[in-house]
Amino acid sequence: MIAVLRIVMKDINIAAATALQAIDPLGREKGVKAGANIVMPNITPGSYRNDYFLYENKPCVDEEPEECLGCLDARFSMTGHKVIYGDWGDSIHFKKKDR
């Protein structure tokens, strides 16, 4: 579905959410390879994570947010893509909208 959506709507943001990794250990990486351009790390502080337990097998629940950054860099270097930090994430589609 990500690949089809990317073909149909070339200029939108498509998220590779942690839910993809819950169903496949490489789910977020596969999402990026299929056309997703946003990665959603789990940055909720560890002491609050159990309050946001929405589905089984959620990745990174035993890591602190700081640990997530190195993990993301390593995981996504395997896809041939680079994680960019600090950039504003509006899509090209959003920027083209009439205001």
pLDDT at residue number 44:
77
- pTM for the model stands at 0.77
pLDDT value at position 53?
67
- pLDDT tens digits for 10-59? 999 999 988 898 899 899 999 999 999 988 777 777 777 777 767 677 76
Closest-CA residue to 17 (of 1, 9, 8): 1
Give pLDDT, residue 14: 96
What's residue 7's pLDDT?
97
Long-range own/partner contacts, residues 59-63 (CB < 8 A, 24 or more apart): 59/18, 59/21, 59/22, 60/18
